[in-house]
Copies of this chain bind each other. A is one copy, B any other.
């Protein structure tokens, strides 16, 4: 069956649940690998208080036995440790207490459209699910997808290339896996030491002005075979599938593959990746402007995607809004106080990309045990004479 990841859970409810369907049996998993990504999602300069009170961990309650997948749905539970303080406000069942409603929709959030769509009088009924807290459930599911990819020689990783007005030096799709060593040690998950300093400074300066800060992160996937996705149907093209998954991340507003928007301004002779062949390497490219996607398929070069994140819309300097019960102008609710989430968003991006790529491997190679999948991948690599890029 195709890979399918569904999440449930509100920000201050009892907890988050993820179900991952479609991984093969026999895949080795570890609690550490899951929790490591959950921890990485909580890092980054610019995060607010909640990240300190909660260390997320995911309890696996089905689909795994003695460290190996069983081939069926895997359920993961990430408790909201703070729920004890919210039991009245967020109880699934009626409570005695009189719980006040939230009436101020925050610009830039799901709040206003959400109460309109769902017919609510209480903005909390929207914001609890719309919160980026939900991305912890995605990251938990994505960690499983990553383990599956890892078993096939594929690594998905991200780095931050822009925070506010500060841009890291351009790398033009040329990074190798080794370049990412230590990326998590930068407080903004940036590969460039100078840029890191400037980014931290940017955050500090803007935070003092009660501003939030956006930015851009870039994703790489190394080790992908050529021919994932397909040109034959628009619903099967990897570029569309990847863009769809990445722009579903809260606060993401743009996505580019390879050189993305820059390609629009270049002449054709500088916009593509010429094809070469050598005995040792098979077919290869000397550039990677396409970001490893041509005709809706992976090319066998590293996959590169960029995601633009708007500054999070919850500001310590609130924006103007309207009270939905009185219709009077007012200032938007302040719900939490992260000022910059771009480094963490990169980890969410890894999860979403891994989910799409794992799904593409499942579609292309089938197999019910991980060894079946590995054998199919190996046979295909052999058939096309492809070797993983170093």
A104 to chain B minimum Cβ distance, whole angstroms, is 9
Q: What are 11 pairs between A and B in contact, CB < 8 Å?
A: A9-B62, A21-B233, A64-B93, A66-B99, A72-B231, A107-B272, A164-B265, A213-B268, A243-B244, A253-B290, A365-B367
- Residue of B66, B71, B254 touching A232 (CB-CB under 8 A): B71
A138 and B327 contact, CB distance less than 8 A: no
- Residue of B67, B252, B297 touching A113 (CB-CB under 8 A): B297
Instruction: State in angstroms the CA–CA spacing of A380 and B311 once bound together.
Output: 32
A119 and B239 contact, CB distance less than 8 A: no
Task: Please give me the residue from chain B that is nearest to A312 by CB atom.
Answer: B268
Chain B residues in 8 Å Cβ range of A216? 261, 264
A271 interface residue, CB < 8 Å from B? yes
- Residue of B19, B117, B240, B375 touching A8 (CB-CB under 8 A): B19
B73 and A8 contact, CB distance less than 8 A: yes
Chain B residues in 8 Å Cβ range of A376? 366-367, 372, 376, 379
B295 and A114 contact, CB distance less than 8 A: yes
Interface bits A92-118 vs B (CB < 8 Å: 1, else 0): 111100010000010111111110111
Chain B residues in 8 Å Cβ range of A30? 93
Of residues 336 through 375 on chain A, the ones whose CB sits less than 8 Å from some CB of chain B are 352, 362-369, 371-372, 375
Number of copies: 4
Chain B residues in 8 Å Cβ range of A31? 93
Chain B residues in 8 Å Cβ range of A268? 211-214, 311-313, 315, 317
> Given A273-B107, A299-B113, is A119 in contact with B261 using a C-beta cutoff of 8 Å?
no
B277 and A311 contact, CB distance less than 8 A: no
Instruction: State in angstroms the CA–CA spacing of A383 and B115 once bound together.
Output: 11
A140 interface residue, CB < 8 Å from B? no
A52 interface residue, CB < 8 Å from B? no
Chain B residues in 8 Å Cβ range of A259? 253
Chain B residues in 8 Å Cβ range of A300? 113, 116
> Given A93-B67, A233-B72, A322-B276, is A260 in contact with B254 using a C-beta cutoff of 8 Å?
yes
A298 interface residue, CB < 8 Å from B? yes
Pick from A10-18, A176-184, A185-193 the stretch touching chain B. A10-18
B110 and A162 contact, CB distance less than 8 A: no
A53 interface residue, CB < 8 Å from B? no
- Residue of B120, B129, B313, B366 touching A365 (CB-CB under 8 A): B366
A263 interface residue, CB < 8 Å from B? yes
A275 and B120 contact, CB distance less than 8 A: no
A221 interface residue, CB < 8 Å from B? no
A110 to chain B minimum Cβ distance, whole angstroms, is 2
A35 to chain B minimum Cβ distance, whole angstroms, is 12
Task: Please give me the residue from chain B that is nearest to A217 by CB atom.
Answer: B264
B308 and A256 contact, CB distance less than 8 A: yes
A321 and B363 contact, CB distance less than 8 A: no
B162 and A120 contact, CB distance less than 8 A: no
